[in-house]
Chain A
Amino acid sequence: MTRNQEERIGVYVCHCGTNIAGVVDVAQVAEWAAAKLQHRGVVIAREYKFMCSSLGQELIEKDIKELDLNRVVVAACSPHLHEKTFRTACANAGLNPFMCEMVSIREQVSWVHTDKSAATSKAMAMVSGGVERVRHHVPLEPLTVPIHPATLVVGGGIAGIQSALEIADAGHQVYVVEREPSIGGHMAQFDKTFPTLDCSACILTPKMVSVGTHPNVKLLTWSQVEKVEGYVGNFSVTIRKKARKIKEDLCTGCGICQEKCPKKVIDDVYEAGLGYRKAVYTPFPQAVPKFPVMDVANCTYYEKGTCKACEKFCPTDAIDFDQQDEILNVQVGNIILATGYDLFDARRISNYGYGRLPNVFSSLEFERLSNAAGPTNGQVVLRDGKTIPKSVGIVHCVGSRDRNYNNYCSVICCMQSIKFAHLVHERTGATVYNFYIDIRAAFKDYDEFYQRILEEGTQFIRGKVAEISDVPRVASEEGKLIIQVEDTLAGKQRRIPVDMVILSSGLQPRADSKATAKVFGISCSANGWYIEKHPKLDPVATMTEGIFIAGCAQGPKDIPASVAQGAAAAARVLGKIEQKEVALEPVRASVIEDQCSGCRICNGLCPFNAISFLEDRMVTEINPALCQGCGTCVAACPAGAIVGTGFSNEQVMAQIEGLMLMNIEPAEVIA
């Protein structure tokens, strides 16, 4: 910028169609800026329908070249949306991209204010603030850091599996961390998948095996991430590998320990409480890895000090009762979070009787009941374990689309309930009633599946179930569960007696999703789902560079969508790895040594240990590689000796003056 010492600023006010222009008088803002901010260096002020369009960008580029602009202010949307676009436009015209400033008159003005005159005035003040701020911009060069080629995938459900395989197949190291003993996630618990009714295990287990045997995958099950340090390209991750009490190098996965273990424990994770496992167990036969884990809380040896049946019978001496948790540290460049969901706990809706009425089942319970490898070998029976139901009610939207619980639609429940209807019909021949609010069968082949189930004779009753009770009013209701529902199509209250009820529970964020988000430095929505960088255009990235999300952790979705998102996240990571280095915002603090008095006030403020004190020269130094650019030290320095690029004292002070219109001479304005 040696070419022009004096500021030559271009102001561009975007209409955004009618998004901005419908509320803000953009022409007036541009005219005002051209007239009133001329003495502050504004050379040209234009308004245009869509500044972000290629024509809009060309407008800026042309002006930079022809009018010799050295600074640009774009009054449009949030910088989080288009800052990159306009910086690129500046760079295309030969201007340092960091000489561009965005003023958000859409998100902060036109979309949130209704009073047109107040909105227009505010937009003017904001443009004025932007102009004052941009006057203090200096050309910057982005910092580049190398990207570590390894990736961490957290969560071994189908989304995480897909991500891991895509990256590993491309030839890069992947660490998969799963807190359960096996990967597979919820999908491993299902019998059939909608709408094709192919067997869940048949399509999932080959992928699980690929993850388990892939030379580029390091699988860490029964493990949890404890700490994440660093930033994109260079994360240092601390993982706790819980003690399995099994020596993995010796265990062959023969299963004799499970066979010989005398202790039966109700399996409330994998079997959803319907079946038993042993105190030393693999959750299911196709588990990956094949190594069992010891359930210390329930093991007889840990309880009473004697037993060790597993140890006695283990042919390879792989049992190790003294094994301790291991703490591992891995270096990765990117992280994919695919931590999945929890099922809505239907006990919360007490009028549905789940947990109180034995023959009211949750959807996960029914998945296990209908699973050929489940506790009943796929027999659909009542809680007594033998009676085949003659009539079954399936309740949709349990805990979803309900302002008492979760407002959102859980996406999968309609199709899941329709699948249940088919399975019940196929296995028992029972009469099936589905109680729904709306049928949402929006994706490929879904509506066809719904039509097919309709033709099978399932009765669909449109109405929200009010109550499920076992108190009969008439003889025909004796010994039955009675579903009280308003049939909104028939326009009347109905009582439908059935033998079995399946509650199609919605999906919820993991109970610890907020704690997990904190570990990785990302945000959760009010509901607890992880927030993507942009809901439409950047659905797998997060606001934290280098951290991606996939699967239900981002919001309810079905298997195809989870797989697609897993692959998408992997593609984003591979793109980063291919670039080999990443450009970071050059927002960094540095010390002007001549001005530093050596007071050391800043020394204790940096959580990234970027600040050190040079004893020999009695001044403070900031390591730009460690500095994250928060600016806390800049604010704290009593001597003003610390400069923060991008958000310097001069920039912020000038912006405040601009926002308050201190830059406008009254005489000039009135004239």
Chain B
Amino acid sequence: MTDAFEPTIIGFTCNWCSYRAADLAGTARIKYPANVRLVRLMCSGRLDPTFVFKALASGADGVMITGCHPGECHYLEQNYKALRRFQLMQRTLKGLGLESGRIKLLWASAAEGARFASEVAAFVEEIRALGPLHWGRADASEAVGAEVAEGPRLQEVSA
């Protein structure tokens, strides 16, 4: 087991822009850390704030919310609603005594594969600096990590 804390991040992507940015990062073979796991939604407007807290409660150390750039929403203006909810979620996090930096909002167009990758890499480092959240259950991940030759990767194993 290594000492370095490997955060787990859940990323919500919009089907039209940021999911395609992730696709493009793939086809362009742009590397980024494996700490992020993506959930596809049709639009960042679909992001129910409870999804974010569900992710944190399930053991994620950070959550990335991504969508189309303002003014470029496939559904005209729904990303603005995601922006409003994001601010609300930040306040809620603070109210819970957590760092608001646990969640990040990123606008990424379908052309911004490189940007998507570099922002993921930056966010992984930000969360690494914040340290583990310890909200979720660590044991399951520990077990899965043990399955893979080089030890736990999925989540930092507590205790």
- On A, residues with C-beta under 8 Å from B are 28, 32, 36, 78-80, 104, 106-109, 111-115, 117-122, 124-126, 129, 518, 521, 523-526, 531, 543-544, 587, 605, 607-608, 628-632, 634-636, 644, 646-647, 649, 652-653, 655-657, 659-662, 664-666, 669-670
Contacts and interface: CB of A to CB of B under 8 A. Distances in A.
B122 interface: no
Contacts of A647: 41-42, 46
B150 A117 contact: yes
B31 A628 contact: no
Closest 9 A/B residue pairs (Cβ): A107-B26, A631-B46, A632-B45, A669-B143, A660-B58, A630-B75, A630-B43, A635-B48, A118-B34
Given A121-B145, A121-B148, A632-B75, 5 more contacts: A115-B153, A124-B144, A630-B45, A660-B55, A662-B140
Contact of B58 (A119, A587, A662): A662
B46 A107 contact: no
A125 to B, nearest CB: 6
Nearest to A646: B42
Contact of A543 (B20, B41, B58, B147): B20
A665 B112 CA distance: 39
B66 to A, nearest CB: 13
Nearest to A669: B143
A628 B54 contact: no
Interface in B91-127: 109-112, 117
A534 B38 CA distance: 22
A656 B43 contact: no
Nearest to B85: A635
25 contacts: A104-B38, A107-B22, A119-B34, A523-B17, A523-B109, A524-B111, A531-B110, A543-B20, A544-B74, A607-B76, A607-B78, A630-B42, A632-B78, A635-B47, A647-B41, A655-B39, A656-B10, A657-B54, A657-B58, A659-B58, A660-B10, A660-B141, A662-B140, A666-B143, A669-B144
Interface of B: 6, 8, 10, 16-17, 19-20, 22-23, 25-27, 29-34, 37-43, 45-51, 54-55, 58-60, 71-72, 74-78, 81, 85, 109-112, 117, 136-137, 139-141, 143-145, 147-151, 153-154
Contacts of A36: 144
A632 B34 contact: no
Contacts of A78: 23, 26
B46 A661 contact: no
B30 A112 contact: yes
B27 A107 contact: yes
B25 A112 contact: yes
Given A112-B29, A630-B75, A634-B48, A662 B137 contact: yes
A632 B47 CA distance: 7
Which of B17, B49, B59 counts the most A-chain CB atoms under 10 A from its CB?
B59
A78 B110 CA distance: 14
Contacts of A531: 110-111
Given A518-B71, A607-B75, A656-B51, A80 B31 contact: no
Given A80-B20, A112-B25, A605-B81, A662 B34 contact: no
Nearest to A655: B39
A661 B141 contact: yes
Contacts of A525: 111
A440 to B, nearest CB: 23
A108 B22 CA distance: 7
A121 B153 contact: yes
Contact of B143 (A587, A635, A662, A664): A664
Contacts of B153: 115, 117-118, 121-122
Contacts of A115: 34, 153
B41 A652 contact: yes
A664 B37 contact: no
A120 B148 contact: yes
Nearest to B52: A656
Contact of A526 (B112, B139, B151, B154): B112
A107 B21 CA distance: 10
Contacts of B58: 656-657, 659-660, 662
B41 A111 contact: no
A349 B96 CA distance: 56
Contacts of A124: 144, 147-148
Nearest to B141: A661
Given A644-B46, A656-B54, A661 B140 contact: yes
Contact of A607 (B51, B77, B140, B143): B77
Nearest to B16: A543
Contacts of B39: 129, 652, 655-656, 659
A217 to B, nearest CB: 31
A175 to B, nearest CB: 24
A662 B20 contact: no
Contacts of A631: 41-43, 45-46
B112 A587 contact: no
A285 B87 CA distance: 60
Contacts of B45: 605, 630-632, 635
Given A631-B46, A632-B45, A647-B46, A109 B34 contact: yes
Contacts of A670: 143
A122 B17 contact: no
A315 to B, nearest CB: 50
Given A109-B34, A112-B31, A631-B43, A521 B74 contact: yes
Given A117-B150, A543-B20, A630-B46, A664 B75 contact: no
Contact of A664 (B8, B40, B60, B140): B140
Given A80-B23, A647-B42, A666-B139, A126 B72 contact: no
A78 B148 CA distance: 25
Contact of A32 (B48, B85, B140, B147): B147
Nearest to B116: A112
A595 B55 CA distance: 26
A629 B74 CA distance: 11
A670 B139 CA distance: 10
Contacts of A607: 75-78
A375 B141 CA distance: 76
A382 B60 CA distance: 70
B27 A111 contact: yes
Which of A634, A659, A661, A664 counts the most B-chain CB atoms under 10 A from its CB?
A661
